[in-house]
Structures are given as C-alpha cells and as structure tokens.
Amino acid sequence: MTRALARLLSLCLLMLTVSACGGDDDPEPTATTAPPPTQDSLEPTLAVVTGSTASDGVCQVKIPDDWVDVGTGRGTTPQGDRWSLFGGTIASDAAWTSAKDLLRTQMSSAPDAEISDEGDRVTVRTPDGRRFVVRQRFDNRYCELSVTAGQETSEEVQSVWQGVAGTLAPVIRE
C-alpha cells in the first residue's frame, strides 16, 4: 500500500472515529483527546480532489474546478503550471518494466529527482517541487499524469497534484 493511500485511509478512519463521538442518544457528548502527532501525521496530507473529469480517451483523472482543461488531457493550474494526462497499452510485465525504465531515462535530466517505484506505480518528484510525474499500470494499459511548474511550489500545491494523481484511472468503455 502506498504511503499516500495509507495516510488517506488513516484520515478516513479518524473521521469515522470523530463522527461517532456524541449524538442524539447521549445528551452531553464526550470529549476525546487526539493522539500525539506521529512523523507521518506531520507530513503533508493528500488533498481530496473534487471537480471535473479530464481524459485523453485512454485514461482519465479528476481535476479541481479551478484547473483549466484545454482538451485531450492537457491544461493549466491556477498557478500557471502545465499538466498533461496520457495513456498507452501494456501487453505484458516486460512491457511495463520497459515503460518504467523509459520514465527513468526521461527523468535523467533531473538528476536529483526522487523516484519511487511501487510495482504498479512509479512516482517522480524533483526536490524544488517543479516536476511531478505518476505513471501507473492498470491491467493492459498505463496512465501518466505529469505536472510541470514554472517555479518552486508549496507543499500545499504539491498535495493537490498528489490528490489528482490519486484519481488516475483507465477510461471504461461500455
């Protein structure tokens, strides 16, 4: 399980626990004490994304309402950052390995980039927060979200990027 997914699950469990406090059958709600912060809770949390769906015809992603979709999986953010979404077919495990290796080669121009390979998902971040790429495998295809900023970005902005990447999915045709 990815760290971001684990944090999101922890947040959901915390919300359920907090919402269970008090209620109609207890006239005086009981106060609860939050546990002391852990290192994971001090890291930026994954932003929950609501908005519209953008697609390149192969993959789709949910983007915030204030992101501009210029069509075919491309657009800009309110900060002027460029984002793109695209997908391709994957015929085998060997083809997926090649797709991951290609991403590593493409990112070689950013030697300090942090590359996290989680099997079916590869995430690339540059230390200055200017590049963020997620390439994820879905059965017989992969989807990639890439965001490029013109300047260093805040952890809050990067959290939104991560939240958008968390909505990556193949387009399902019926």
87 and 18 assigned to the same domain: no
Residues of the domain holding 136: 46-170
Query: Which amino acid, residue 146?
Result: S
38 and 124 assigned to the same domain: no
1 and 51 assigned to the same domain: no
Instruction: Give pLDDT, residue 145.
Output: 97
5 and 51 assigned to the same domain: no
Instruction: Give pLDDT, residue 129.
Output: 87
32 and 53 assigned to the same domain: no
140 and 81 assigned to the same domain: yes
Residue 59 reports pLDDT greater than 90: yes
CA angle 161, 165, 167 (to 5 degrees): 125
94 and 166 assigned to the same domain: yes
The domain total for the chain is: 2
With residue 164 as reference, give the H or E element that holds it: helix 155-165
This prediction's pTM: 0.70
Residue 3 reports pLDDT greater than 60: no
The pLDDT tens digits for 4-56 are 434 444 433 333 333 334 444 444 443 333 344 443 433 445 567 778 999 99
Instruction: Say if CB 150 and CB 80 are below 8 A apart.
Output: yes
165 CB burial (10 A radius; 0-12, 13-18, 19+): buried
Instruction: Give pLDDT, residue 68.
Output: 94
77 and 163 assigned to the same domain: yes
Which has the minimum average pLDDT: 81-95, 105-119, 160-174? 105-119
Instruction: Give pLDDT, residue 104.
Output: 87
| 111-117 mean pLDDT | 88
53 and 38 assigned to the same domain: no
Instruction: Give pLDDT, residue 111.
Output: 73
7 and 69 assigned to the same domain: no
35 and 78 assigned to the same domain: no
